[in-house]
Structure 1
Amino acid sequence: MLLKGAALCMVLAAMLNASAHAGAALEERKLPMKFSWVGCEPNCHGWVSAVGIVTNDSPRDFDEFARGRQLGGATIVLDSSGGSVNDSIALGRRFRELGMLTTVGASVLTQRGERAKVSPEAYCESMCVFLLLSGKSRYVPEQAHVRVHQIWMGDRTDQPRAATYSADDLMIVERDIGRLAKYTFDMGGAGDLLSLSLNVPPWEDLHELSREELRLTNLVTADMIAQSGSPNAAVVELTPKPVQDRLVSSAVATETNPEPARSTKKVEVMGRTGGLRAAAAPPGEE
């Protein structure tokens, strides 16, 4: 009985730790995107953790974070419910300029004496999916959730059907869809990604991409390769897959000019700053 009691206590402790980690991750995804360097010496190279919502400050915040660091070819681990369309485009172009690799995951700092790990149970939703696309090589773990839907006016995502829209609003929508389309093709993405995203209005559940759709949209271009003894295979090395039946534009290497959770029917309200924001599912309701 004592042995059974001890085993039960260990299971409960593990469940509480997992619950605490999940709760902390949800809270982080509600906040503006934060960038941090996560080291995992001696058996892996480390990575950049990017958690939270993309705001109009995110490109500048990343520039400040990158200053003085050698980030060329580094892996960026995404855990985000989306955010500003134009600022996500600008941020994604910065990632591509640095030749960064992208994946989806949650960085976990383990107990003292153990190194950091990446949990594949993470979410990349809305405009985060287009940040994922910016990676020179891209990997999505089996357990990760990649979800898409339409972009929408950021100040009218609470009740999009009840809101009113002007001709100027429609002009902004069409302009930003055009910017997003150009960005998608510049990054080597497929038109299928735009089609899947633009078919889901913000009052419906986000569409979770299947493994087949991840390949069809060209969001996954890399296999996971682990170095000896490393639990962080996704952030150690991303080996590009050969692209079949896809013509990737040469613009991905030369374009440098930036353009200015679980799904739920409720969307998060975000203020408009001269453009669109992709409606994001509230992480707290996942």
Structure 2
Amino acid sequence: MRLLKSLDLRGWLLVGTAACCVALTGAAATFTSSAQAGAALEERKLPMKFSWIGCEPNCRGWVSAVGIITTDTPKDFEEFVRGRQLGGATVVLDSSGGSVNDAITLGRRFRNLGLLTTVGITMQNRGGQGARPAVAPEAYCESMCVFLLLAGKKRYVPEAAHVRVHQIWMGDRADDAKAASYSAQDLMIVERDIGRLAKYTFDMGGAGDLLSLALNVPPWEDLHELDASELKLTNLVTTALVADVLPNVNVSAPAMADLAPKTQDRFGEEPEQPHPGRSTKTAEASVPTGAAPVAASQK
């Protein structure tokens, strides 16, 4: 939100001084916003991280969920929940997707806790020390993040947010899906996961249109961004009032059009120093967590 400050005009000297101060303040605010935007983009490339954002006594606070859904994400969320009373809290999502089965597990946990969901980027320390946190609406919720959004008992999507879908795919062959080869076992895994995703979608109150829109976009094409009518058609949005999910929270933070390009790579990137044994690709139809892959020759 642009903060307008009135100037006390007490002579040209004071006007000049005040103008200089305003210019410096504006430059500092722009630098802070740009820095936070860059940090948010980098965080989205890493495994999903959960943070509690407190803003008492004026609002309850919310959960910030940023990054890629990996096999560790459900466990990480359970560790985050431990010792917290999160029933009915809001989750603010900013994610490029991730593992189908782990997203389903996490989404069902969200619903069991009665969580609410929206899309946005948490902005902290805006305006100096003591300033309340805000939510910037120009965030991205892509691929399996969309199904996490669906898990909320109430769901709100700001107009500036980008909610985008595509087909699920074998995560280890997503970078060049056309050139890769696939076995009958691979096809079985994809079809099985589509079935699990369909059941989850209906269990969460989503419409078949969501699956139809997603499954019509192959991984070598740009993701399909849902417009306002499609968000309603798929039942991803249940309220048009931000106050239903984030009461007393500023959700019109400064526009950050450079936060991520609209042609953002749907599969994200590996972090510079990946955790040993942890895949940060958005594995779209991988073997379920804890299950051993079946040998290709096995009938």
Deviates more, 1:153-162 or 1:266-275: 266-275
Match of 1:256 in 2: none
Report if aligned partners of 1:29, 1:53 keep a CA contact under 8 Å in 2: yes
Q: Which amino acid aligns with 1:202?
A: P
Match of 1:30 in 2: 45
- The Cα offsets for residues 94-117 of structure 1, whole Å up to 9 and x where unpaired, read as 000011100111111123111211
Question: Closer, same or farther in 2 for the Cα pair 1:144/1:198, shift >3 Å?
Answer: same
Report if aligned partners of 2:96, 2:267 keep a CA contact under 8 Å in 1: no
Match of 1:145 in 2: 162
Shift of 1:274: 1.1
Shift of 1:224: 2.0
The runs of 5 or more residues in structure 1 that have no matched partner are: 235-260, 277-286
TM-score (norm 1): 0.81
Shift of 1:12: 3.0
Cα distance in 2, alignment partners of residues 81 and 4 from structure 1: 42
Structure with a larger share of its residues in strand: 1
Report if aligned partners of 1:31, 1:52 keep a CA contact under 8 Å in 2: yes
Which structure's CA Rg is the greater one? 2
Cα distance in 2, alignment partners of residues 273 and 208 from structure 1: 24
Question: Closer, same or farther in 2 for the Cα pair 1:27/1:264, shift >3 Å?
Answer: closer
What SS does structure 2 have at the residue aligned with 1:21? helix
Shift of 1:89: 0.2
**What is the percentage of aligned positions where both structures have the same residue?**
68
Cα distance in 1, alignment partners of residues 36 and 195 from structure 2: 39
Of residues 185, 203, 213 in structure 1, which corresponds to 2:220?
203
Cα distance in 2, alignment partners of residues 194 and 273 from structure 1: 18
Q: Which amino acid aligns with 1:263?
A: T
What SS does structure 2 have at the residue aligned with 1:76? strand
1:66-77 counterparts in 2 under 5 A?
A: 66-77=81-92
- The Cα offsets for residues 14-57 of structure 1, whole Å up to 9 and x where unpaired, read as 32222111100001101100111110111111111111000000
Match of 2:275 in 1: none
Cα distance in 2, alignment partners of residues 194 and 48 from structure 1: 27
Report if aligned partners of 1:206, 1:264 keep a CA contact under 8 Å in 2: no
Of residues 45, 48, 52 in structure 1, which corresponds to 2:67?
52
Shift of 1:157: 0.9
Question: Closer, same or farther in 2 for the Cα pair 1:114/1:6, shift >3 Å?
Answer: closer
Match of 1:231 in 2: 249
Match of 2:133 in 1: 116
Is 2:263 the partner of 1:263? yes
The runs of 5 or more residues in structure 2 that have no matched partner are: 1-15, 253-259, 270-280, 290-299
Q: Which amino acid aligns with 1:24?
A: A
Question: Closer, same or farther in 2 for the Cα pair 1:7/1:87, shift >3 Å?
Answer: same
Report if aligned partners of 1:105, 1:123 keep a CA contact under 8 Å in 2: yes
Match of 1:99 in 2: 114
Cα distance in 2, alignment partners of residues 275 and 169 from structure 1: 13
Cα distance in 2, alignment partners of residues 15 and 108 from structure 1: 13
Shift of 1:121: 1.5
Shift of 1:266: 6.8
Q: Which amino acid aligns with 2:167?
A: Q
Is 2:198 the partner of 1:181? yes
Question: Closer, same or farther in 2 for the Cα pair 1:265/1:18, shift >3 Å?
Answer: closer
Match of 1:244 in 2: none
What SS does structure 2 have at the residue aligned with 1:102? strand
Q: Which amino acid aligns with 2:214?
A: S
TM-score (norm 2): 0.78
Deviates more, 1:2-11 or 1:152-161: 2-11
